[in-house]
A and B are shown apart, each in its own frame.
Chain A
Amino acid sequence: MSNVLLEVKDLKKYYKVPKGMLHAVDGVSFNLEKGKTLGIVGESGCGKTTIGRAILRLVEPTSGSVIFDGVDIPKLNKQEMRHMRRNMQLIFQDPFSSLNPRKTITQTIEEPIILANMIPDPDKRFMRVMELMDTVGLAERLVNTYPHELDGGRRQRIGIARALAMNPKFIICDEPVSALDVSIQAQILNLMKKIQREMGLTYIFITHNLAVVNHFSDDIVVMYLGRLIEKAPPETLFANPLHPYTQALLSAVPVPRIHNRPERLLLRGEITSPINPEPICRFANRCNYALPICSKEEPCLIEVEPDHFVACHIVKRG
């Protein structure tokens, strides 16, 4: 059990909006072991981006605990939190807007090292920057270039180098390849896997792309409207998805094959509002298998088979 690096318990993030309370993340819990990758999948409005930010305290969680390496993150003060940040980093989705356009690559990668005062000597620091650039596959001649001179793939590599600069233990990757071309995506994903192996990193991989998360994760969490509705390792999840939403999600992915095309399960209706949600199954209005109980009670997350958790009334009944 001491292998667990991150323990998220009943994490909630609510926003106050004119119409009431917006439940962006509504009581999510999971454990993440050291060296593993957790994939968080869902569509827009499911809360996957918010939960990433909440774990890093870039937005303040409304309630719940985030225990990282034994330390309860939301309870730290400003000073302690800044120190803690060295261990937990974030790779952003948009390689265009996540880099300061007025700073060269070197300045961007160097900044975290300077802020943490890790290497006071400028020459040694510079060598560390070159080492990082080498790790992520950026040529040395790019040392003085600005982000706008480079393409998306290279910019994302800068983002990765910046995240690695402080030697973190844990990195949250928020849709790191969604904005890139297909042929470049594979390059970046392979790079991230390689770095994980070499540095013993732990990842949370947030994406809406199921094919990518299959390739990349050890365990997958499916979110819908702020709640965790299914959790299982990729082999189990893809072979035997239990929650109707997961089933629909998987079948909705366009398959690049013309033979043996899977049956398409289409959802009806639209996603309900995350503002002041009722304590019922939030997926009920779109579910093809909805029972009366689904509109009355909220289902809890239960372990249906080893390592496979689902929050669904139908599955409980077996």
Chain B
Amino acid sequence: MEIKKINEQENTLEIKNLVIHYISDEEVVKAVNGVNIIIKAGKTLGLVGETGAGKTTTALSILNLVPEPQGKILSGEVLLQGRSVLSMSERELEVMRGDKVAMIFQDPMTSLNPVHTVGRQIAESIEIHRKVSKQQALKQAKEMLELVGIPSERSNEYPYQFSGGMKQRVDIAIALACSPDLLIADEPTTALDVTIQAQVLKLINELRQEYHMSMLMITHDLGIVAEVCDEVSIAYAGRIIEHGTLEDIFDHMRHPYTKGLFNALPDIGVKRSELKPIKGLMPDPTNLPSGCPFHPRCDYVMEVCSQSLPENKWLSETHCVECHLYKDTNESML
């Protein structure tokens, strides 16, 4: 892998006001409703949300892989190092995928092709994007395997011969084979045991620090966010309802949903008699509540919350929140 030269000024990823709906005969699924994301060069953003928050759809849009024909990008921009992904031609997209942006998926079982050796699958990416011979590509593939902690002799083995954790490492090797500028990890450790998860997270941390890679870490686990990320965006019903640095979110959380998430977590250090769940259910993306999408479940709900969407309010240089509670506040009041 080559170490990239960082252009400190440039944002690796900028998503502006992205709106994506899945439209079918029966219903419209409002998956993404105005998402704004910025990932600075070399930084890791944690995108936190539960089912239906729109995280995976947002991630797919970065690669322009939102499933068609139902998935329609209704508005918004996705800028990868300044270039608009949504207006790229098919050829440009092929060049970009794997080379500039790579993705690791949740389930290592199904994201590897069972009939090819792992060495071949890693080499495939290298062959496509670099002008090297097959042998050269395989040689580089072996190096990638060593990098992720798998002995290079195993490059001739097939996916079924590897355990879940090792398969995920192979996925990481494939993703990093061409030194992408942006790595998208969609719940990469959810399907793994906790001790294996620790190993994989450590690996991801080491690699991103060594190669100054930007990363979008999609997860629902705030523990992983604390471990790996620099900044956090909290997603709910297709919107980013709070964003900030680790300190902003963990120490100074503002949005009632964020507070609810933390309160609902059983902490291993503290035993409480009752957990504090968030009342109600996840919103139905085909039938979103009026106004603020969280208002039916909010403990601090006011009348205005059901009437209009809250605007994005910057509480500090790094911390912003979308909530009517903070409409007129400034920092000193908090």
Question: Which of chain B's residues have a CB closer than 8 A to the CB of A181?
Answer: 50-51, 220, 282
Question: In the bound complex, what is the Cα–Cα distance between A181 and B227 (angstroms)?
Answer: 20
Contact call A211/B51, Cβ cutoff below 8 A = no
Partner pick for B250 among A43, A251, A258, CB 8 A cutoff: A258
Contact call A210/B194, Cβ cutoff below 8 A = yes
Comparing B94-102, B196-204, B305-313, the segment that makes contact with chain A is B196-204
* Residue B260 is within 8 A (CB to CB) of chain A in the complex: yes
Contact call A214/B271, Cβ cutoff below 8 A = yes
Question: Which of chain A's residues have a CB closer than 8 A to the CB of B251?
Answer: 258-259
Which residue of A has the minimal Cβ distance to B270? A214
Which residue of A has the minimal Cβ distance to B194? A252
Contact call A183/B268, Cβ cutoff below 8 A = no
Shortest CB distance B86–A (Å): 30
Contact call A254/B226, Cβ cutoff below 8 A = yes
Contact call A256/B272, Cβ cutoff below 8 A = no
* Residue A288 is within 8 A (CB to CB) of chain B in the complex: no
Question: In the bound complex, what is the Cα–Cα distance between A239 and B206 (angstroms)?
Answer: 30
Partner pick for A256 among B194, B247, B262, CB 8 A cutoff: B262
Which residue of A has the minimal Cβ distance to B222? A256
Question: Which of chain A's residues have a CB closer than 8 A to the CB of B265?
Answer: 182, 186, 211, 256
Shortest CB distance A101–B (Å): 19
Shortest CB distance A37–B (Å): 13
Question: In the bound complex, what is the Cα–Cα distance between A235 and B268 (angstroms)?
Answer: 10
Contact call B278/A256, Cβ cutoff below 8 A = no
**Residues 174-202 of A at the B interface (beta carbon under 8 Å):** 181-187, 189-190, 193
Comparing A4-12, A75-83, A105-113, A262-270, the segment that makes contact with chain B is A262-270
Contact call B277/A187, Cβ cutoff below 8 A = yes
* Residue B38 is within 8 A (CB to CB) of chain A in the complex: no
Partner pick for B261 among A182, A190, A258, A264, CB 8 A cutoff: A182
* Residue A248 is within 8 A (CB to CB) of chain B in the complex: yes
* Residue A61 is within 8 A (CB to CB) of chain B in the complex: no
Question: In the bound complex, what is the Cα–Cα distance between A183 and B280 (angstroms)?
Answer: 9
* Residue B18 is within 8 A (CB to CB) of chain A in the complex: no
Contact call B267/A211, Cβ cutoff below 8 A = yes
Partner pick for A253 among B223, B262, B264, CB 8 A cutoff: B223
Contact call B193/A43, Cβ cutoff below 8 A = yes
* Residue B246 is within 8 A (CB to CB) of chain A in the complex: yes
Question: In the bound complex, what is the Cα–Cα distance between A184 and B275 (angstroms)?
Answer: 11
Contact call B195/A267, Cβ cutoff below 8 A = yes
Contact call A252/B197, Cβ cutoff below 8 A = yes
Question: In the bound complex, what is the Cα–Cα distance between A253 and B223 (angstroms)?
Answer: 8
Partner pick for B281 among A44, A151, A193, A238, CB 8 A cutoff: A151
Produce 1/0 per residue, B247-261, CB < 8 A to A.
100110000000011
Shortest CB distance A110–B (Å): 25
Question: Which of chain B's residues have a CB closer than 8 A to the CB of A235?
Answer: 271
Contact call A43/B247, Cβ cutoff below 8 A = no
Which residue of B has the minimal Cβ distance to A186? B277
Question: Which of chain B's residues have a CB closer than 8 A to the CB of A163?
Answer: none
Question: Which of chain B's residues have a CB closer than 8 A to the CB of A250?
Answer: 268
Shortest CB distance A59–B (Å): 22
Question: Which of chain B's residues have a CB closer than 8 A to the CB of A183?
Answer: 50, 260-261, 264, 277-278, 282
Question: In the bound complex, what is the Cα–Cα distance between A261 and B276 (angstroms)?
Answer: 23
Which residue of B has the minimal Cβ distance to A213? B266
Shortest CB distance B160–A (Å): 15
Contact call A190/B277, Cβ cutoff below 8 A = yes
* Residue B224 is within 8 A (CB to CB) of chain A in the complex: yes
Shortest CB distance B126–A (Å): 27
* Residue A35 is within 8 A (CB to CB) of chain B in the complex: no
Contact call B193/A44, Cβ cutoff below 8 A = yes
Contacts A215-B271, A255-B226; A182 near B220 (Cβ below 8 A): yes
Shortest CB distance A262–B (Å): 8
Contact call A258/B272, Cβ cutoff below 8 A = no
Question: In the bound complex, what is the Cα–Cα distance between A151 and B226 (angstroms)?
Answer: 29
Which residue of B has the minimal Cβ distance to A254? B223
Contacts A182-B220, A186-B276, A257-B250; A212 near B226 (Cβ below 8 A): no
**Residues 219-235 of A at the B interface (beta carbon under 8 Å):** 234-235
Contact call B274/A193, Cβ cutoff below 8 A = yes
Which residue of A has the minimal Cβ distance to B201? A254
Question: Which of chain B's residues have a CB closer than 8 A to the CB of A210?
Answer: 194, 268
Question: Which of chain B's residues have a CB closer than 8 A to the CB of A186?
Answer: 264-266, 275-278
Contacts A215-B271, A254-B221, A258-B251; A264 near B266 (Cβ below 8 A): no
**Residues 135-187 of A at the B interface (beta carbon under 8 Å):** 151-154, 181-187
* Residue A249 is within 8 A (CB to CB) of chain B in the complex: yes
Shortest CB distance A120–B (Å): 36
Which residue of B has the minimal Cβ distance to A181? B50
Shortest CB distance B107–A (Å): 14
Question: In the bound complex, what is the Cα–Cα distance between A182 and B224 (angstroms)?
Answer: 14
Contacts A249-B194, A249-B195, A266-B198; A184 near B274 (Cβ below 8 A): no
Partner pick for B163 among A214, A253, A270, CB 8 A cutoff: A270
Chain A residues packing against B (C-beta within 8 Å): 43-44, 151-154, 181-187, 189-190, 193, 208, 210-212, 214-215, 234-235, 238, 248-259, 261, 264, 266-267, 270-271
Q: List 19 A-B contacts (CB under 8 A).
A: A43-B194, A154-B281, A181-B220, A182-B264, A183-B50, A183-B282, A186-B276, A187-B277, A187-B279, A214-B268, A250-B268, A254-B197, A255-B223, A256-B223, A256-B225, A257-B226, A257-B267, A266-B198, A267-B195
Q: In the complex, given contacts A189-B275, A258-B247, what are 10 additional A-B residue pairs having Cβ atoms less than 8 angstroms apart?
A: A181-B220, A181-B282, A182-B220, A186-B266, A186-B276, A211-B265, A215-B266, A252-B195, A254-B223, A255-B226
